[in-house]
Amino acid sequence: MFEAAKLGRQVSKETFKAEVPELRYQLLKAQRALRGTDTAVVVIISGVEGAGKGEVVNILNEWLDTRGMQTFAFWDETDEERERPRYWRFWRTLPERGNISILFGGWYMDPIVHRIKDRCTDAEVDAELSRITDFERMLTEDGALVVKFWFHLPEEVERKKLKKLSRDDRSRWKMNPKKGRFSDHYEQFEKVAERIIRHTDTGISPWYLIEATDERYRDLTVGRTLLEAINARLESPKITDYATTVSQAPLLPSDPGAQLTVLDKVDLSQSLERTLYKTELKKLQAELNLLAWEAYQKKRSCVLVFEGVDAGGKGGAIRRLTNAIDSRLYRTIPVAAPSDEEKAHHYLWRFWRHIPRAGRLTVYDRSWYGRVLVERVEGFASDDEWKQAYSEINEFEEQLVESGIVVLKFWLQISQDEQLARFKARAETPYKEHKITDEDWRNRERWNEYKLAVNEMVVRTSTEYSPWTLVPGNDKPFARIEVLRTVRDRLKAALKEENGRHLSPCKAIK
């Protein structure tokens, strides 16, 4: 989930200085328009330590009119608060209609602290998250706008920042009475945070993941995103209309350094020498054959999802995989436009139909992710439908994993130049010309739209139990070996698990 918050996005000083005056003016304009309306704005500020959450809040207090906003931190629990239900302290901070409240951590901090310190179980956290979701829904249905920011840093960056802050006696972080609570628990903190964000990320109150490595990028992105959210609510007071209008991704600054996506970080220059490819292919296919039979004997199923740009090499990777496995153990499901029967059902119905029996494999050549990719970009699904799909897909995949199924998801990426070369080769080769269609050429014109859709897909559906693997595909042998190696490693790890639950995530291929 946090891959997109570790891309190294940045904004130049020149861009920052040029954009801030207009942004401040527009924020103040939106704040003035907010007054007199029935909308109260609640801004949740949370994230890893050292990400500059306090700096962001100070910036917002500088850019906005403080006469119409308040800031609350929940460092200590008073006797008054301890003698009342937990949410009493939050109800007291809710702003009047037309005003803004900024809450550090808000109602999310206690679940994070308690889970990391093992004061509660995952099931207890999930129950609290259901309460939070209901609470936020109640607020939004009453007219409130809930905007939630999660600030994130790579572990090594956080460590360096905290070390620097600890040496500065005047740093706000060092003066924070709650500092250092999670600095030694980064991996665990990230795991708990993913669970909390995933369970409470809704169309009416989405989470915005903000990369906080570059301060200028961080501040501009928060300001622009908050502005967009307020303006969208002013234009669409009805919550049902607002949920389909507002973006669920941060509004990025125009600086090229701020426009990076997870796909821009895939190293497409990687390649594999042909002799080594043949040796590795033979070895990996032999291992996969044995693992497939072991999985059959242990009743462990596997679902493999192949997505990628057109001509990205999905078919070739799938063939090298299936050639290694006895045909009685797997099925390959090519996914095209839904049939009339499939359209008459929920979009996930046609994928549920092909979930494998215990010990078998199902390979999906394209999948349920079409909902948030082609259906989103081409307009086949409404905004409400594709925005809702992220949580539906996560729930679907979680059910698969909880039942013991190993889920592997691959995105095969190639460059635009490589895609063009493959398109031309297909058009000029008689036995390949069926692979190229007018639709493929049209999709090239929407390359950037698809890239943004893929980025958001990875952010919202790359989970601990079902992560995405991003495969560099310019060199076909390299891509095929990486896919086979990843399947081997994940399947081997799964078969070592006593009950097949809580498998460790597979890291994206760089």
State how far the Cα of 239 lies from the Cα of 68, in Å rounded to an integer.
23
State how far the Cα of 241 lies from the Cα of 204, in Å rounded to an integer.
10
**Which burial class, exposed, middle or buried, applies to 434 when counting CB atoms under 10 A from its CB (0-12, 13-18, 19+)?**
exposed
State how far the Cα of 392 lies from the Cα of 70, in Å rounded to an integer.
35
**């063009």: which residue's tokens?**
420
Three-class SS state of 35: coil
**Amino acid identity of 291?**
L
State how far the Cα of 257 lies from the Cα of 358, in Å rounded to an integer.
47
For residue range 371-429, list pLDDT tens digits in order: 999 999 999 998 888 988 898 899 899 999 988 999 999 999 999 999 999 888 888 87
How many residues make up the chain in this entry?
510
Three-class SS state of 300: coil
Edge to edge, the sheet with strand 468-472 lists: 330-334, 361-365, 302-308, 406-413, 468-472
End-to-end CA distance of the chain: 16
**Which burial class, exposed, middle or buried, applies to 21 when counting CB atoms under 10 A from its CB (0-12, 13-18, 19+)?**
exposed
State how far the Cα of 198 lies from the Cα of 461, in Å rounded to an integer.
9
Beta bridge partners of 411: 307, 470
Q: How does DSSP classify residue 472?
A: E
State how far the Cα of 116 lies from the Cα of 114, in Å rounded to an integer.
6
Query: 155, 186 in Cβ contact below 8 A?
Result: yes
DSSP element (H, E) containing 361: strand 361-365
Q: How does DSSP classify residue 263?
A: G
Q: What's the pLDDT at 372?
A: 94
Residues 6+ apart with CB under 8 A from 333: 354, 362, 363, 364, 365
Tens-digit pLDDT string for the chain (510 aa): 788 888 889 999 999 999 999 999 999 999 999 998 989 999 999 998 888 899 999 999 999 999 989 999 887 778 888 878 888 888 889 999 999 999 998 898 888 888 888 888 888 888 888 889 988 998 998 889 999 999 999 888 888 888 877 766 555 555 555 555 555 678 888 888 888 888 898 878 889 999 999 999 999 999 999 999 999 999 876 665 555 555 567 888 888 888 889 999 899 999 999 999 999 999 999 999 999 999 999 999 999 999 999 989 999 999 999 999 999 999 999 998 888 998 888 899 999 999 999 999 999 999 999 999 999 999 999 888 898 889 889 989 999 998 899 999 999 999 999 999 988 888 887 766 666 777 777 778 899 999 999 999 998 899 888 999 999 999 999 999 999 999 999 999 999 875 544 443 433 333
State how far the Cα of 251 lies from the Cα of 186, in Å rounded to an integer.
27
Q: Delineate the domains of the chain, giving CATH numbers in brackets.
A: 3-260 (3.40.50.300), 265-496 (3.40.50.300)
Left (φ > 0), alpha (ψ -120 to 50) or beta: where does 180 sit? left
State how far the Cα of 463 lies from the Cα of 397, in Å rounded to an integer.
9
Q: How many angstroms separate the Cα of 235 from the Cα of each of 53, 222, 232? A: 29, 20, 5
State how far the Cα of 159 lies from the Cα of 176, in Å rounded to an integer.
17
Tokens representing residue 161 in the block? 């920042």
Edge to edge, the sheet with strand 145-152 lists: 69-73, 100-104, 41-47, 145-152, 207-211
Query: 152, 211 in Cβ contact below 8 A?
Result: yes
Query: 476, 469 in Cβ contact below 8 A?
Result: no
Q: What's the pLDDT at 178?
A: 55
